[in-house]
Amino acid sequence: MRFDIFSKISTLLNRVVDIITQGGLERVRVLNEFNRVFKSAFEIGEFDRLCSVTTSKGNQNFKHELSTIYLRSGFKITIMNDDNLKKQDFSRIAKYFVINKAFARKLMALGYDTLLIKGKSSTTGLEIPLKEIASLNDYMVN
């Protein structure tokens, strides 16, 4: 019984830390949902790359009025099985976001300003300003 209490407290504390470091409960829900979908797509063979989504440091040059004040303004997709990554792998993932302006605006409303797509162990990747995806360059202050 004692182990059960410590386990519950540990789980609760981990959830609180996640909420604080990720910037809010809604952000955590979005990240969890993306991770669930990416994992499912990989497991059933719809997608050859296993991806993980986290919040990370965004690009200062991509800031806008809705960007979070602290350094957690990047929506980062990490390709976990990054052996033999090609530029087209990054582009293929980015395509789903670039064509969805409404989702880019939702991410912006959550404080994100940068879409990052990187390999787990590679140094290459993409950084895309969300305000460009959402076609808001004329409406957002840099």
Taking only the tens place, the pLDDT of each residue in 64-121 is: 888 887 668 999 999 999 988 888 888 888 888 888 888 888 899 888 999 999 999 9
pLDDT at 99: 86
More reliable by pLDDT, 84 or 135: 84
What's the first-to-final CA gap in the chain, in angstroms? Answer: 55
pLDDT at 1: 46
d(CA 19, CA 23): 6
Dig out the tokens for 125 from the structure.
């990747």
Beta bridge partners of 54: 76
- Find out whether 77 and 92 touch, Cβ atoms under 8 Å: no
Give the pTM.
0.77
Host H or E run for residue 127: strand 125-129
17-55: pLDDT as tens digits = 555 555 567 888 889 999 999 999 999 998 889 999 999
Helices (H), the chain: 2-22, 25-43, 87-98, 101-109, 130-133
- Find out whether 126 and 92 touch, Cβ atoms under 8 Å: no
* Residue among 132, 110, 119 at smallest CA distance from 62: 132
Residue 139 scores a pLDDT above 60 = no
Q: What is the mean pLDDT of residues 120-133?
A: 89
